[in-house]
C-alpha cells in the first residue's frame, strides 16, 4: 500500500483520510465501486481535462506565433495541420509527394484524424477545423493515456498503485498534447506487458509498430538482449526481434516502394537538421556562437551523439552482466532510453513522456518522481519563453535569455541523470530496490522472471582459470546463483584428480 511503503505519500494523504491503518486488510475487504482500475481511470480523465485547460488560451484565441509560446500552449498538432496542408486535404504518406518529417505510422495517424475532422467539419473555416483537429486528438489522447495507465497497472505486479505515477503525471498534463508521442508510449508499454506475459513475438510486433511512430520503442530490444545473455535464454529475444522486424517492415515497405522520396524524407531531415532546442548540443553551440568559439556542425553532432550513445549502451551492458543480481527489464529499459534522450541531438519537452511508465516501473519512489517532474516542468516553461524571444525578436528584458535557458536545460539533463544513477544504485544494491523489497524478482521480465542467473564475466574468468591450472573439480561447478535459489550447472573440466591416472583427452570435448 503506497501510504504505508512511501514516506512522501504518508504525509500527502493526510487531506484524504490519512495513511492506511495497520489493522486494515487490503484485498480482503470488497472495494465496492472504487476498484484500483476505476480510481486510476477517474484520475486519468481528470488529468486529461487539465491537459486541455493548459492549452485553452490557444483554443480561445487561436494558435499564432509567438503568442502560443508566451501562453505556453504550443502544439505540433495544430501547427502541422496548417503548415503541412492537412487542413486542405494533403495527407502524409497518402498524397503522393507530400513530405512529412515523422515516421510512417505517425503520418498515417495525423492523416486519419485530418480525414475525420474533414468529415465532421465539412466546409468550415480553417481556424475552426484547426480547433476541431486539436480537440479530436485530445480525445484520442485521453483514451491512449487510459490504456497506458492500465498497461502499467498490469505490469506492476503486487504494486498496482504505482500506475498512479502515470495517471497523474504533471509532465503528461503539460506536454501530452504537444505531439503524438503518447501513442508510441502506449505501444512500448503494451509490448512490455505482452513480454511480461511471455508473448515475446507479440511484444516485438507492438515495439515494431511503436518504432513506426517514434523510434524509441525499438530500444527495449537492447534490454531484452542483455537479459538473454545474462540468463542464457535467447529464444525470447529472437522472438521479440522477429516480431519487431516483421511489424516495422510491414508498415514501412509498402510506402517505401510507393513513394521513396516521401519515405526517406524523415531520415534525411533527421540527419541534416541542426542540434535541436533543449539538447546539450544546442546549448553548447549557442554559447560557443555567443563567445565567438567554433561550433559543431550537424555531421559532427551526429557522430558524437552516436558514439556517446554506443558507449553508454556498452556501459549499461557491462553493468547488467557483472552485477551481483540480474537487473529488472524496466531498469535496463529506463537506462537505455534515458541514455538515448541525453545523447540525442534533438530533445523536445514531450520526450519526457517516454520515461514516465519506465520510471513508475523501475524506480517507483514518489520523492524521485515528483523531484524529476518538477525540474521537467521548469524546463517546459523555460523553453517556451526562450522560443518566444527567439521568434518575436523582442527586447531581452521581456524574454528569457540564453543564460537562464541554458541553466534550465542543464537542470533537465542533471535531473534525468540523477534518476538513472538511482536505478544504477538499485541494480548494484538490490536491497534498495522498492520492487524487490516486496519479494519480487522481475514482474516485467516474463521469460526471465526467476530464471537461472549467471554473472557472465565471472563465469568466463573462472572457466579460463580452471583451464589454465588444468585442475579437475571433484564436483560440478555451479554457476552464479540468483536469490530465488535457481542455479545453472556448468560442465566438468577434464584432467586428473582423486588419485586416478589421467586418461587420454576427450576428443569430442
**DSSP, residue by residue, 359-393:** HHHH---HHHHHHHHHHHHHHHHHHHHHHHHHHH-
Q: Is 467 among the domain residues?
A: no
Q: Is 420 among the domain residues?
A: yes
Residue 376 — very low, low, confident or very high, per pLDDT cuts 50/70/90?
A: very high
Share of the chain above pLDDT 90, in %: 71
Sequence-distant (6+) residues with CB within 8 A of 40 are 149, 150, 153, 163, 164, 167
**Residue 470 predicted with pLDDT over 70:** no
Residue 30 — very low, low, confident or very high, per pLDDT cuts 50/70/90?
A: confident
**Residue 474 predicted with pLDDT over 50:** no
Q: Is 186 among the domain residues?
A: yes
Q: Contact at 8 Å (CB) between 452 and 483? A: no
Closest to 187 measured CA to CA, from 222, 219, 233, 235: 219
Q: Average pLDDT for residues 471-476, to the nearest whole number?
A: 41
Between the CA of residue 24 and those of 1, 4, 19, 27, what are the distances in Å? 11, 11, 11, 10
What count of Cα atoms within 13 Å lies in the side-chain half-sphere of residue 129?
A: 23
Rounded to a whole number of angstroms, the distance between the first and last alpha carbons of the chain is 54
Q: Is 500 among the domain residues?
A: no
Q: What is the pLDDT of residue 149?
A: 98
**Residue 473 predicted with pLDDT over 50:** no
H helices present in 156-259, as ranges:
164-167, 170-175, 181-196, 200-211, 220-231, 235-258
Sequence-distant (6+) residues with CB within 8 A of 4 are 10, 19, 20, 22
For residue 193, the enclosing domain spans: 32-451
Q: What is the pLDDT of residue 466?
A: 55
Model confidence pLDDT, tens digit, residues 64-101 = 989 999 999 999 999 999 999 998 889 999 998 899 99
Spell 202-224 as b/e; 16+ CB within 10 A means b. bbbbbbbbbbbbbebbbbbbbbb
Q: Contact at 8 Å (CB) between 363 and 334? A: yes
Using DSSP, state whether 453 is helix, strand or coil.
coil
Q: What is the pLDDT of residue 373?
A: 96
Query: Please, what sign has the CA dihedral across residues 131, 71, 388, 106?
Result: negative
Q: Is 27 among the domain residues?
A: no
Q: Is 506 among the domain residues?
A: no
Using DSSP, state whether 182 is helix, strand or coil.
helix
Instruction: Give backbone dihedrals phi and psi of 478, rounded to 5 degrees, phi first.
Output: -80, 140
Q: How many separate domains does the chain show?
A: 1
Residue 193 — very low, low, confident or very high, per pLDDT cuts 50/70/90?
A: very high
Q: What is the pLDDT of residue 366?
A: 92
DSSP state at residue 10 = H
**Residue 503 predicted with pLDDT over 90:** no
**Residue 280 predicted with pLDDT over 60:** yes
Q: Is 376 among the domain residues?
A: yes
CA max distance for the chain? 96
Q: Is 508 among the domain residues?
A: no
Residue 225 to residue 49: CA distance in whole angstroms: 39
Provide DSSP, 17-85: T-SPPTT--TTTS--TT--HHHHHHHHHHHHHHHHHHHTHHHHHH---TTHHHHTT---HHHHHHHHTS
63 burial (CB, 10 Å; 0-12 / 13-18 / 19+) is buried
Give the alpha-carbon dihedral of 285, 286, 291, 292, to 10 degrees.
Answer: 60
Residue 462 to residue 454: CA distance in whole angstroms: 12
Any long-range contacts for 60-69 (C-beta under 8 Å, 24+ apart)?
62/127, 62/130, 62/131, 63/130, 65/391, 66/387, 66/388, 66/391, 66/392, 69/384, 69/385, 69/387, 69/388, 69/391
Amino acid at each position: 500500500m503506497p501510504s504505508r511503503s512511501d514516506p512522501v505519500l504518508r504525509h500527502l494523504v493526510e487531506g484524504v483520510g490519512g495513511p492506511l491503518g495497520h489493522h486494515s486488510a487490503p484485498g480482503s475487504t470488497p472495494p465496492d465501486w472504487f476498484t484500483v482500475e476505476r480510481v486510476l481511470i477517474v484520475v486519468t480523465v481528470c488529468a486529461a481535462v487539465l491537459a486541455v485547460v493548459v492549452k485553452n488560451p490557444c483554443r480561445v484565441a487561436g494558435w499564432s506565433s509567438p503568442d502560443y509560446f508566451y501562453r505556453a500552449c504550443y502544439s505540433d498538432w495544430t501547427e502541422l495541420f496548417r503548415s503541412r496542408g492537412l487542413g486542405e486535404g494533403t495527407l502524409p504518406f497518402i498524397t503522393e509527394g507530400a513530405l512529412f518529417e515523422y515516421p510512417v505510422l505517425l503520418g498515417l495517424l495525423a492523416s486519419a484524424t485530418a480525414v475525420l475532422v474533414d468529415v465532421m467539419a465539412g466546409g468550415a473555416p480553417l481556424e475552426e477545423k484547426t480547433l476541431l483537429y486539436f480537440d479530436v486528438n485530445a480525445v484520442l489522447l485521453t483514451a491512449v493515456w487510459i490504456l497506458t495507465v492500465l498497461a502499467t497497472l498490469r505490469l506492476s505486479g503486487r504494486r498496482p498503485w504505482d500506475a498512479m505515477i502515470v495517471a497523474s503525471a504533471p509532465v503528461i498534463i503539460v506536454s501530452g498534447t504537444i505531439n503524438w508521442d503518447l501513442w508510441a508510449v502506449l505501444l512500448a508499454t503494451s509490448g512490455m506487458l505482452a513480454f511480461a506475459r511471455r508473448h515475446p513475438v507479440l511484444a516485438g510486433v507492438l515495439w515494431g509498430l511503436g518504432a513506426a511512430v517514434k523510434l524509441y520503442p525499438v530500444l527495449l530490444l537492447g534490454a531484452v538482449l542483455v537479459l538473454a545473455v545474462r540468463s542464457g535464454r535467447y529464444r525470447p529475444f529472437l522472438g521479440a526481434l522477429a516480431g519487431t522486424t516483421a511489424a516495422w517492415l510491414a508498415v514501412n515497405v509498402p510506402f517505401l516502394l510507393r513513394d521513396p522520396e516521401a519515405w526517406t524524407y524523415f531520415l534525411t531531415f533527421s540527419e541534416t537538421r541542426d542540434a535541436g532546442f533543449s539538447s546539450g548540443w544546442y546549448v553548447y553551440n549557442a554559447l560557443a556562437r555567443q563567445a565567438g568559439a567554433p561550433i559543431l556542425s550537424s555531421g559532427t553532432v551526429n557522430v558524437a551523439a552516436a558514439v556517446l550513445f554506443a558507449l553508454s549502451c556498452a556501459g549499461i551492458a557491462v553493468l547488467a552482466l557483472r552485477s551481483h543480481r540480474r537487473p529488472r527489464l524496466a531498469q535496463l529499459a529506463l537506462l537505455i532510453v534515458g541514455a538515448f534522450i541525453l545523447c540525442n541531438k534533438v530533445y523536445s519537452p514531450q520526450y519526457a513522456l517516454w520515461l514516465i511508465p519506465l520510471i513508475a516501473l523501475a524506480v517507483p519512489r514518489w520523492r524521485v518522481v515528483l523531484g524529476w517532474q518538477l525540474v521537467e516542468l521548469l524546463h517546459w516553461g523555460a523553453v517556451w519563453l526562450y522560443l518566444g524571444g527567439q521568434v518575436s525578436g523582442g527586447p531581452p528584458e521581456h524574454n528569457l535569455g540564453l543564460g537562464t535557458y541554458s541553466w534550465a536545460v542543464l537542470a533537465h539533463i542533471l535531473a534525468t541523470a540523477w534518476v538513472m544513477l538511482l536505478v544504477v544504485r538499485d541494480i548494484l544494491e538490490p536491497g534498495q530496490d522498492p520492487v524487490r523489497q516486496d519479494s519480487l524478482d522481475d514482474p516485467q521480465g516474463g521469460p526471465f522472471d526467476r530464471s537461472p542467473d549467471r554473472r557472465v564475466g565471472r563465469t568466463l574468468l573462472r572457466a579460463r582459470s580452471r583451464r589454465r591450472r588444468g585442475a579437475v573439480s571433484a564436483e560440478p561447478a555451479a554457476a552464479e546463483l540468483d536469490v530465488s535459489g535457481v542455479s545453472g550447472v556448468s560442465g566438468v573440466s577434464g584432467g586428473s584428480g582423486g588419485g586416478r591416472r589421467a586418461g587420454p583427452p576427450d576428443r569430442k570435448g
